[in-house]
Structure 1
Amino acid sequence: MMTRRETLLGAALTSLVLTAPAFAAAADDIGKLPRQKIDLVAPPFVHAHQQATKEGPKVIEFKMVIQEKEVVIDDDGTKFQAMTFNGSMPGPLMVVHQNDYVELTLVNPASNTMPHNIDFHASTGALGGGALTLINPGEQVVLRFKADRTGVFVYHCAPGGNMIPWHVVSGMNGAIMVLPREGLKDRDGKPLHYDRVYYIGEQDMYVPKDESGKYKTYGSPAESYTDTVEVMRKLIPTHEVFNGRVGALTGKNAMTAKVGETVLIVHSQANRDTRPHLIGGHGDYVWETGKFSNPPETNLETWFIRGGSAGAALYTFKQPGVYAYVNHNLIEAVELGATAHFKVDGTWNDDLMKQVSAPGPIPNAPSN
């Protein structure tokens, strides 16, 4: 009997054989394109890139190594068996331009215990690449696809069946940004520019507890599977976090900016709906559905990111201070961990806000 992997790969290979002449012609054309190798960086940071380009399409080479590892996800020391792209939750943000070719080398080291693959929501065909990238420990694969539509898109592991949600909520998700070649624009076609870009990946986690209510620990992802699935099926996360753990983007790890700088915030959630909100700020321009071919909405207080998608928002900071960036389901923000901070340097503008009088006793208040 054929395994599921053999069935998937067999169907994909049949498709490739049936269209071999077209693929050969395309390969010849792609072979003439310039190639650029990009070293990915861990979120919330993003690798260097041009916002607009007059150059023609390229083949952009990326490499990601799948890491299965134990991580700590809160200040109480809760341990979690994570599965990750490149060791981070979320995986790195990839940036290309429309009509570039993404060429990813995906590596599953022999030290891992599980098969993995990758499904790009930005790609077309073969289960988003999932049917062509399923690899066992000790294997690697190279996938190439054309980034033919602009926007920010989720990618995630999708090895099949009930393995799919388990791998996704164990950390195997990230995003890719496909910029228009001419750069971002407002609804009137005016160019938009950002001084900094940060990538926030929101993650729901489902950590089993023992009979006494304490979080359980496991020696490997496979060992945690049965208990974790039981928690997952109740659809109530134990943690809802940004970038892999409670407080990952607060305190000394807060994202930084200066008054007058415009920041692009890319926000993804591969599994659950979320509602980003910048306390004390706004979304000057927001691609709520994450697709740059659609005009951005303006001046949003809170925006909606559908589960399984990514969105993008531009904001120019006007006041210094610490801004909380939260999931405005405030229960998830405060109780479960979905809070980040921006630390902004600059000079305060009294015209925008001023404390007219300091806290003090109520004048002429009757005494008790």
Structure 2
Amino acid sequence: MATLAGASLARAASEEDAPEMKVNAATAAEIAKLPRVKQTLVEPPFMPEHEQAASGGPRIIEVTLPIIEKKMQIDDEGTEIWALTFGGSVPGPMIVAHEGDYVEVTLQNLATNMMEHNIDFHSATGALGGGAITKVLPGEQVVMRWKATKPGVFVYHCAPGDVMIPYHVLHGMSGAVMVLPRDGLKDAQGKPFKYDRAYFIGEQDYYIPRDETGAYKKYEVAGEDMADSLDVMRTLTPTHEVFNGKVGALTGEGAMKAKVGETVLFVHAQATRDTRPHLIGGHGDLVWEAGSFNDKPDTNLETWLIRGGSAGAMTYTFQQPGVYAYVNHNLIEAVLLGATAHVVVEGDWNDDLMVQVQKPGPIQTT
């Protein structure tokens, strides 16, 4: 009797599963009919070309993301790290989609690399964000597809397991995804909103070991620093806190550009530590601090919080020309550790907004 009961239950389960299997098969067939678009990724702070409001229905966005292990200099003093990168940059490139799109990622672990890698998309739905199904050894590639169900900005990062998770992330393996609502962004009143330029700032904390003299150590191959680096990481005290891979990456020739009257979208991501972006001389006109575009943005913020392991977005319409400093307003990290960027803004000065009433001179007494 028990055997018959078991068989009946098995048949019932099979019959119950059948409709779901048909639904899945139909869904797969529908996905196969969607138009495919290859997205050309670019090095941050720039973003790939994209529509702000989708002009058509859902698409499959094809992305190729090579993993490159390479030696990088992270300051002007010659400090080096064997960076583990998505696409060869720190942070990895921004991926842009619209809600309802599918993102199909070809993850390539180059044969010249030393380590196993994978990718965890905070924007994806499913255990480990795809980390379990994207593990690749050197010389291998894997293809993963995920559906963009949540509008907002999200971190992605490498997560091979155990101590290799912080080791890989803190050697540069993180980036971000922006999922726009199909009809574009909305302001605080729910009205359609557009930006003129967009920049991606990836904040990275490094933990570089020192030798017995206090000098930063250098290593011949990727992974050679693992034991030393883990010891420094356990202090929770970074030696460098930088934007886009190195001290000064977004200053001088690398500074972001804008013009008076332009509205600029800034996406800021930090995979491990809380950070407090601040635009000196400007404001967060609209701020999606936690990254969700489904939520009403905050307005007119002076400083905003990006939680470790997340991304946030801010827009500002520049009113005055000049060189604006965009900083982590933990000023120790901004000034001493490197978390400073510049935005060079062109245009005409408005004395009504700011003017020097009196030039510096001797203190006058009455």
- TM bucket (normalised to shorter chain) is over 0.9
Task: Return the alpha-carbon distance in structure 1 between the equivalents of residues 25 and 218 of structure 2.
Answer: 50
Aligned-pair CA distance for 1:189: 1.3
> Percent sequence identity over matched residues?
65
Preserved CA contact (<8 Å) 1:80 1:207: yes
Q: Which residue of the partner structure matches residue 332 of structure 1?
A: 333
Task: Quote the Cα distance in structure 1 between the aligned partners of 2:278 and 2:149.
Answer: 30
Residues 1:50 and 2:48 are matched in the alignment: no
Counterpart for residue 181 of structure 1: 182
Is the deviation greater in 320-329 or in 214-223?
Answer: 214-223
Contact 1:126–1:132 (CA under 8 A) maintained in structure 2: no
Report the alpha carbon displacement of residue 363 of structure 1 after superposing the two structures with TM: 1.8
Partner of 2:283: 282
* Deviation sequence 1:334-365 (CA, Å, 0-9, x none): 00000000000000000000000110111238
Task: Determine if contact 2:95/2:176 at 8 Å carries over to the other structure.
Answer: yes
Distance 1:46 1:99 in 2: 20
Distance 1:22 1:207, change over 3 A: farther
Structure-2 residue corresponding to 1:223: 224
Q: Match of 1:75? A: 76
| Distance in 2 (alpha carbons) for counterparts of 1:205 and 1:222 | 15
Map residues 147-226 of structure 1 onto 2, 5 A cutoff: 147-226=148-227
Whole-angstrom CA distance in 2 between matches of 1:317 and 1:195: 11
* One-letter amino acid matched to 1:285: L
2 CA distance for matches of 1:284 and 1:210? Answer: 46
Instruction: Give the conservation status (yes or no) of the 8 Å contact 1:198–1:265.
Output: yes
Q: TM-score, length-normalised on structure 2?
A: 0.93
- In 2: Cα distance, 1:32 partner to 1:233 partner: 50
Query: What residue in structure 1 maps to residue 263 of structure 2?
Result: 262
Q: Paired residue for 1:118?
A: 119
1 CA distance for matches of 2:154 and 2:352? 39
- Residue 225 of structure 2 aligns to a residue whose secondary structure is helix
Q: Deviations over 1:244-286 (max 9, x none)?
A: 0000000111000000000000000000000000000000000
In the alignment of these two chains, the number of paired residues is 347
Rounded Cα–Cα distance in structure 2 between residues aligned with 1:222 and 1:303: 35
Deviation at 1:22, TM superposition (A): 4.8
> How many Å apart are 1:20 and its aligned residue?
6.0
Partner residue in 2 for 1:98:
99
CA distance in structure 2 between the partners assigned to 1:73 and 1:280 by the alignment: 28
Q: CA deviation at 1:26?
A: 2.1
CA shift digits 1:194-226 (9 cap, x unpaired) = 000000000000000000000000112210101
Deviations, residues 22-77 of structure 1 (Å, cap 9, x unaligned)? 54332211001011001100000011100002310000000010000000000101
Aligned residue number for residue 11 of structure 1: none
Kept in 2, the 8 Å contact 1:123–1:147? The answer is yes
Match of 2:249 in 1: 248
Equivalent position of 2:130 in the other structure: 129
Alignment check: 8 A CA contact 1:174 1:201 kept: yes
Residue identity matched to 1:321: G
Alignment of structure 1 residues 14-33 onto 2, 5 Å = 22-33=23-34
2:357 equivalent to 1:356: yes
Contact between 1:82 and 1:170, CA under 8 Å: does it hold in 2? Answer: yes
C-alpha distance in 2 between matches for 1:22 and 1:88? 41
Supply the AA of the counterpart residue of 1:226: A
- What is the rounded CA distance, in whole Å, between the counterparts of 2:75 and 2:52 in structure 1? 35
Post-superposition shift, 1:126?
Answer: 3.2
- The CA RMSD measured in Å over matched residues stands at 1.0
8 Å CA contact 1:249, 1:341 repeated in 2: yes
Paired position in structure 2 for 1:236: 237
Whether the 8 Å contact between 1:69 and 1:81 is mirrored in structure 2 is: yes
Report the Cα distance in structure 1 between the residues aligned to 2:66 and 2:155, rounded to whole angstroms: 18
Which runs of 5 or more structure 1 residues have no equivalent in the other structure? 1-18
Q: Secondary structure at the match of 1:222?
A: coil
- Give the secondary structure class of the aligned counterpart of 2:26: helix
Determine the structure 1 residue equivalent to 2:300: 299
SS in 2 for 1:221: coil
What is the alpha-carbon distance in structure 1 between the residues aligned to residue 98 and residue 292 of structure 2?
A: 13
Distance 2:323 2:216 in 1: 32
The answer to whether the Cα contact below 8 Å between 1:73 and 1:80 also exists between their aligned partners in 2 is yes
Contact 2:37 2:61 in 1 (8 A): yes
CA shift at 1:186, angstroms? 1.4
- More divergent stretch after superposition (330-339 vs 220-229): 220-229
2:188 and 2:299 in contact (8 A); partners too: no
| 1:230 Cα offset (Å) | 0.5
Structure with larger Rg: 2
Q: Unpaired runs of 5+ in structure 2?
A: 1-19
Whether the 8 Å CA contact 2:188–2:286 is kept in 1: the answer is no
Q: Distance in 2 between matches of 1:335 and 1:24?
A: 56
Q: Distance in 2 between matches of 1:168 and 1:320?
A: 37
Q: CA deviation at 1:187?
A: 2.6
TM-score, length of structure 1 as denominator length = 0.93
